[in-house]
Amino acid sequence: MIFSKKFFNIYQKEEEIEKIEDVIFLGAGASASEGAPVQGALFKEYFRLYKDGEIPYTNSEINTRLVKFFNAFFGINVNQRKVENISFPSFEEILGILELSINRQESFRDYSFSPAKPLIQQIREDLIFLIAIVLDKKLETTPQYHEILVNRLKKEKRLSKTCFISLNYDILIDNALIKLFPEYHVDYGVEFTNFERKIESVKYWERPDPKKSIFLLKLHGSLNWLYCPTCISLTLTPLEKRVAKLVFEPQYCDMCGGEMIPIIIPPTFFKVMSNFFLQKIWRKAESVLTRARRIFFCGYSFPDADVHIKYLLKRTEINKGSTPEIFIINNHEGKPLYQKEEEEWRYKRFFKEKEKVHYTSYSFQEFCEQGINT
């Protein structure tokens, strides 16, 4: 279907978006291929590190609070049991409950106030640090497959026509792309305070040149972004997961001196669009998806709960007037057939033109190495 240029003008007019043909959508499975724990294993991993004394930044207050919280809310006494044998609730489940409580301004017995703020809010912040700590610890090595992917696209001369949309907070794809500097510049789709300043340690960072820019849109935030709620600015710490350092040492905004906080939005966060920067990123993702000829979903199971993502995809599909070619790359060794069938069905029932939805047998690793013959 041909659609008029005029229609596109309601979206971004920038030339760097016009050149985009492919979108690579990175879900948790893509990071898992590099050794990141899947969501369900985050707590297990954290308490294993905690018990082995391997938490890199020792902040005993956070540990004490989390141990107490798991016992009080879920009857899990991590000090008395083998972590391997514990079934932890899912991350979304816990965050969902805390977010609702904060939104409704309600509380739980013994959980009304810590010295500084409502204890529930404190626990929510602790859990976000927990993700930062675990990912920091588990992903210390260089991202192998993300680099292979980026280099393959570069060789095939497709890199500048590709946009990455990531649902992960880790910085695997970021680091793979940053390695291609100065030939290519990572463009997160938002302004950072670092654009205005030259910091010696930030040698890989400057305002991206539109001719060289590769979009990396991180819909749920990132471990290398720090947000200042006072002056509403965002500071980028390339190649560094500075959020993890916040655990033992507060970081202050260079512009106004206010205390900075992480932008990591768990998928269940109900007000996902309330942050100014994330709004811009989601809007940009909409522009990009409306132009995309092909979307590659990597390591993303398309869960029912991700209603914001579905809304974004449906808007772009309907506004564009046609379904892009869709490829799902979710396979891994030993994946049960029923799970594959369920996933395929979930994708197919959602998009309008079913024949354009291709559920492949590729794993993320194979996709990185060989791509898909289309």
Return the number of other C-beta atoms located less than 10 Å from residue 261's C-beta.
Answer: 16
Output the smallest distance, CB 257 to Zn ion, in A.
7
Interaction residues for Zn ion, span 54-73 (CB under 5 A): none
- What single string gives the DSSP state of each residue in 257-314? -PBPEEEE--TT-TTGGGSHHHHHHHHHHHHHHHH-SEEEEES----TT-HHHHHHHH
**Of 107 and 230, CB closest to Zn ion:** 230
- What single string gives the DSSP state of each residue in 215-255? EEEETTEEEEEEEETTTTEEEE-TT--HHHHTTTS--B-TT
**Of 55 and 263, CB closest to Zn ion:** 263
**Of 123 and 228, CB closest to Zn ion:** 228
Tokens 């940053």 belong to residue: 178
From residue 114, how far is each of 75, 102, 123 by CA, in Å?
A: 21, 14, 10
Return the number of other C-beta atoms located less than 10 Å from residue 189's C-beta.
Answer: 22
Of 160-168, 199-207, 225-233, 301-309, the segment contacting Zn ion by CB under 5 A is 225-233
**Of 15 and 249, CB closest to Zn ion:** 249
Sketch the per residue contact string, 178 through 197, with Zn ion: x for CB under 5 A, - otherwise.
Answer: --------------------
Output the smallest distance, CB 267 to Zn ion, in A.
27
For the four alpha carbons of 292, 293, 296 and 302, in that order, the dihedral sign comes to: positive
**Of 230 and 360, CB closest to Zn ion:** 230
**Of 72 and 256, CB closest to Zn ion:** 256
Taking the mean position of all CA atoms in its chain, how far away is CA 96? 17
Facing residues of 217 across strands? 165
Q: Is 39 in the site for Zn ion (CB under 5 A)?
A: no
9 CB-side CA count, 13 A: 3
Interaction residues for Zn ion, span 226-265 (CB under 5 A): 228, 230-231, 253, 255-256, 258
Interaction residues for Zn ion, span 257-316 (CB under 5 A): 258
Output the smallest distance, CB 228 to Zn ion, in A.
3
Output the smallest distance, CB 322 to Zn ion, in A.
43
Contact footprint for Zn ion (CB under 5 A):
228, 230-231, 253, 255-256, 258
